[in-house]
Amino acid sequence: MYDINKVRADFPILSRQVHGKPLVYLDNAATTQKPLCVLDAMREEYLNANANVHRGVHYLSVQATELHEQARETVRKFINAKRTTEIVFTRGTTEGLNLVAATFSQAFMQAGDEVIVSVMEHHSNIVPWQLAAMQRGIKLRVIPMSDDGVLDIEAYKKLFNEKTKMVSVAHVSNVLGTVNPVAEIIKIAHAHDVPVMVDGAQSAPHFAIDVQKLDCDFLVFSGHKMYGPTGIGVLYGKEEWLEKLPPYQGGGEMIEHVSFEKTTFEQPPLKFEAGTPDYIASHGLATAINYMESLGLENIEAHEQELTKYAIERLGKIEGMKIYGPTASLLSSASQKAPLPAANSHDAVVSFNVGQIHHMDMGTLLDQLGIAVRTGHHCAQPLMDRLGVLGTVRASFALYNTKEEIDILADGIERVRKMF
């Protein structure tokens, strides 16, 4: 395990005050704070190696290109992809999901064809498919879940038919923290010759992902949720799929040859990277990955699992507390020291409501105590409908959070509760 005090020293923002109180930052599922090494690496490149990448023959362009492509290799190793041609840089998870939904539906779907998603998806994995539905007449089918936030796999199996063309699911729910059984989901889909896209926005920051072991066809995640900069993300796609998909946008980088009669396109990944890439951000993302790996992904996972378990136990003692998600499975598996995060366990997110206190009121008053949490529907309104609430309060954890901060959160909730 790593030294939490040394780690926190790498994140200067954690030492600041808010409203005269020490900052307790528990909004990591929205975005994480950035270590100095990431900020320094990006500043250093702007100062000493800033030039547009690819095709440039001068020294600075060559240097910037090397850093950019080294970042691609860092990402490849991070998720254990076979080759760097399977790593597409995007602006984030949302763009990756949109890219696949748009190009896949264009190439492989027609009116009446179906895509399977789950009830706990982020809007970014619902709306792009709805746009495809408006354009091409495809349909969405939805995997239901139990009351404690576990997907119904038996119901999922029954959703398949000859019209099913894609399954697109979250690895970890950004609301419930449920670690979905994506390996099983993928195996079932592949038995029907249906590809699977995994939304890894809430898994990549918290535990190791092996795309070859999972056998997913696509995986997307964001840099800013894993200690890297905003505006950079990753789409992993199996080489055979990326070769089949049409380009998403047109412009520089993604072309091989252009004439007014015909344009030919680059091979993946450049085929999907139109325009100047954010080569500074890709370097920042690679630095963030190196930082995480220096601490050990297994150490990060164990630390955050312990925090999640402690938070559920501590908050569960508060009068009127309602915690959403598979809390029982987390507590039982943790007590048995089972390998985590197991499928259907609870990872790094605790969503809750207290009595009749509106989630916005709770969040606003906690902010006055220096505690940063997220309130609302968390871009998952269909899930809120399933839970029968308008929104929740969400505390989400990162590698730098502590049990002491959870104690401050619990004490803050108690203080707010007594006001109502």
DSSP element (H, E) containing 41: helix 36-48
Residue 278: half-sphere exposure toward Cβ, Cα within 13 Å: 18
Q: Which amino acid, one-letter code, is at 162?
A: E
Q: Which residue, among 38, 46, 11, has the nearest Cα to 25 in the 3D structure? A: 11
* Nearest one of 401, 406, 397, 405 to 177, comparing CA atoms: 397
CB 237 within 8 A of CB 76: no
Q: Which of 331, 379, 389, 390 is catalytic?
A: 379
**356: DSSP letter:** T
CB of 231 within 8 A of CB of 215?
no
What are the backbone angles phi and psi of residue 282, rounded to the nearest 5°?
Answer: -65, -40
CA dist 177 and 308 (Å) reads 9
State yes or no: is 379 an active-site residue.
yes
CA distances from 389 to 124, 265, 284, 319, 382 (A): 20, 48, 38, 19, 10
Phi-psi region of 73 (alpha: psi -120 to 50; beta: other; left: phi over 0): alpha
221 contacts 234 by C-beta, under 8 angstroms: yes
**CA distance linking residue 372 with residue 275, whole number of Å:** 36
Please give the positions annotated as active site.
379
